[in-house]
Amino acid sequence: MESSALVLVGAVDWVHPAWRGQFYPEGLPDDWLLSYYNTQFEAVYLAAERWRDVSPATWAQWLADTQDGFHFILETAARAPYVPASGRVVVADAAWEAKHVSWLDAQPDLRALAARITQHAARAEPLFVFSRSGDLARLEQVKSLKEVLGY
């Protein structure tokens, strides 16, 4: 995995109906959602059902639609015919996820999250902070915490 960022914030998927008009500008075409999402967040977590049947052409488009530092973290899938060979795409088995992912919904204590971020930074290991629910307010808090900590 290639990453110079130590804290990468995002949500499970970039398609959240509640984000229309709140996060995504009104009238933004569906095929521009990922490009816009990528301007606000550094990573996305995709459930196996979302990514395992994605074609190579779609993967190529997703990678082209995102910046070089953006990462796709993929839930392990029993059947995965295609995973792009990119340092920006990680298939996260349980051990990797336990080490590198902090679930915002399960870890609402920002002080504890700050301590975990500091531990990862001391080891120069990236930490991915994701919201399963897509809670924009909590994601903004984490982005602010990241700034306060200097990451």
pLDDT tier at 88 (50, 70, 90 boundaries)?
Answer: very high
Mean pLDDT of 43-54: 94
pLDDT at residue 3 greater than cutoff 80: no
Domain range list for the chain: 7-149
More confident residue, 4 or 18: 18
pLDDT exceeding 90 applies to what percent of the chain? 84
pLDDT tens, residue by residue, 21-46: 999 999 999 999 999 999 999 999 99
Gap between the Cα atoms of 37 and 106, Å rounded? 22
Q: What's the residue count for the chain? A: 151
pLDDT of residue 83: 86
The dihedrals phi and psi of 44, each to the nearest 5 degrees, come to: -140, 140
**Tokens matching residue 40:** 């606000």
pLDDT reading at 7 higher than 50 = yes
**What is the model's pLDDT at position 4?**
66
Tell me the pLDDT tens digit for each residue of 105-141: 866 789 999 999 999 999 999 999 999 999 999 999 9
pLDDT band per the 50, 70, 90 thresholds, residue 1: very low
pTM, two decimals, is: 0.92
Q: Where does the pLDDT of residue 51 fall: very low under 50, low under 70, confident under 90, or very high at 90 and above?
A: very high
**Residue in this structure with the two tokens 């080490």, named with its chain if needed:** 99
Greatest CA separation for the chain: 43
